[in-house]
Structure 1
Amino acid sequence: MENDKFEKRLHYAYTLSMITIGYNLVEGGVSTFFGASDETLALFGFGLDSFVEVLSGVGIAHMIYRMKRNPVTERDGFEVTALKITGTALYILAAGLVVGAVLAIINKSEPETTLAGIIVAVLSILTMYFLYREKIKVGEELESQPIISDAKCTKTCFYLSFILLASSLLYELWQIPYVDALGSLGIAWYAWKEGKEAFENAKSKSLSCSSDCC
């Protein structure tokens, strides 16, 4: 691969990482606002997860920036610290969502509406699919495991959006009791899974992994 073409693809990968960070910031703000105002736990938890993904995204952007200078085989101290902070935040989020879901069921709390959740989920599905497809494409062209691993993290966010969409649609259309609480538990499970993977990757420092999110 010619050096100029390599640099252009690497710059595109960096641009995709910055788009991911920017989108998650906006998504997190919108989701937590409407999640709190509409009293929908699933949307609120989804928004908090988006903010945590920003921390992970910063680590990825930093790693790609390093790749623009020299080949990267391991995570550096900044990226390891970002992973540890991300993992801790995800564990806290998972615990909070479980407690919130239990309290919602006990108190028989239901959202005022989940329309915002439907809109956010649809936009997220479209955006994350685009980012996943482009990251995989550029990662394979560059033969870069770090970028492919980042794409797999984006795919996890893609699946998470379907959980939010399903719980929001079921409640908005048929007002099924506790479906919002169940949706938040699904998000909590993914948060716990991502947190575990973050700590495992921070411990190994390796960029060659077989997990869904590296």
Structure 2
Amino acid sequence: MPHTHVVTGAGSGIGAAIARRLADRGDRLILVARDALRAAELAEQFGASASVAADLRHPESLAAAFANAGLPDEIDSVVHAAGVVDLGAVAELPVEAWSSQLAVNLVSAAEITRLLLPALRAARGQVVFLNSGAGLTAHPSWAAYAASKHGLKALADALRGEEAPHGVRVTTVYPGRAATPMQAKVHEQEGQEYDPSRFIDPESVATAVLTALDLPRDAVISDLTVRPGPRPK
């Protein structure tokens, strides 16, 4: 029986790989995109049953966007794959860089989850947060991004306990560096040459996410770390 999934960040990278895999197996997709035009493009690309035009940079606008989207009463999963990154030392990073990363990576994920919890509870569904290795360890120049991802871990951990009585599972996936457009941007900011062959294929992360979603109901993958495999020299 097809399941219904809400996916953010389906426009590229890991989110796109997850959306494609779910669509290819016949599940129903509801895709969240920054504006109506992009939402329509993604809905056509993936054959989504619905889309939501919602700008994650403005969490305060999400309630109205989701209220007007006509979403179903039962949703099997919400996959939070959207994210932004802007590197910089604490001494140099402007407040806008902090605000945007916290808004997109953390606050919007919390708000979308809140808005969809009634439908998730009705389906005994699952929330999947695509976190990062930066959600476990912060390195120089990564303070703002890591703070947003550390916060995302806290959100997931608290939510897991709160929603267990309602039958809602919560999973956090911590991918290492993956070969995505975001990774290309990171390398540009770091002033390094980008070689995608050195990093995890987004399809591998998508496999990890689908494994968590497909796990029988008697168990939950609460936290899953995905690291680049050994590369022969």
Q: Same fold (TM over 0.5)?
A: no
Task: Return the structure number with greater relative CO, CA threshold 8 A, min gap 6.
Answer: 1
Asked which structure has the greater CA Rg, the reply is 1
Question: TM-score of the superposition, structure 2-length normalised?
Answer: 0.33
Q: Give 1 or 2: higher strand fraction.
A: 2
Q: Give 1 or 2: higher helix fraction.
A: 1
